[in-house]
């Protein structure tokens, strides 16, 4: 179906070689490309660009959440002490 050589420069024509007709045939037969290959096919214009959704990307990690909770607790203590 093609070759990929990541060692070549990005602008090299030999970096990615695809047999578009065969790729389209297998996609029509129901083949599912991997995420990386799907992106290459999108860049080549073989497939439409799929919308991607990563809902976890914007959420802080576990340690960051713990630190935020600690800061909120300290801020609450300080505000209670200053209110007295």
| Domain spans in the chain, listed from the N-terminal domain onward | 2-83
Per-residue pLDDT band at 74 (split at 50, 70, 90): confident
Residue 70: pLDDT over 80: yes
With b meaning 16 or more CB within 10 Å and e meaning fewer, what string describes 10-26?
A: eeeeeebebeeeebeee
Q: pLDDT of 11-43, one tens digit each?
A: 888 888 999 999 999 999 999 998 888 888 888
Q: Which CATH number, 3.30.1320, 1.10.3430, 3.30.499, 2.60.120, labels domain 2-83?
A: 3.30.1320
Neighbour tally for 78: CB within 10 Å: 10
- pLDDT in the model for residue 36: 87
């Amino acid at each position: 179906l093609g070759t990929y050589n990541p060692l070549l420069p990005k602008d090299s024509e030999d970096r990615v070689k695809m047999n578009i007709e065969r790729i389209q045939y297998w996609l029509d037969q129901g083949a599912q490309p991997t995420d990386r290959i799907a992106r290459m096919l999108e860049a080549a214009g073989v497939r439409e660009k799929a919308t991607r959704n990563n809902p976890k990307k914007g959420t802080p990690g576990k340690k960051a959440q713990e630190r935020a909770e600690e800061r909120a607790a300290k801020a609450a203590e300080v505000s209670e002490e200053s209110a007295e």
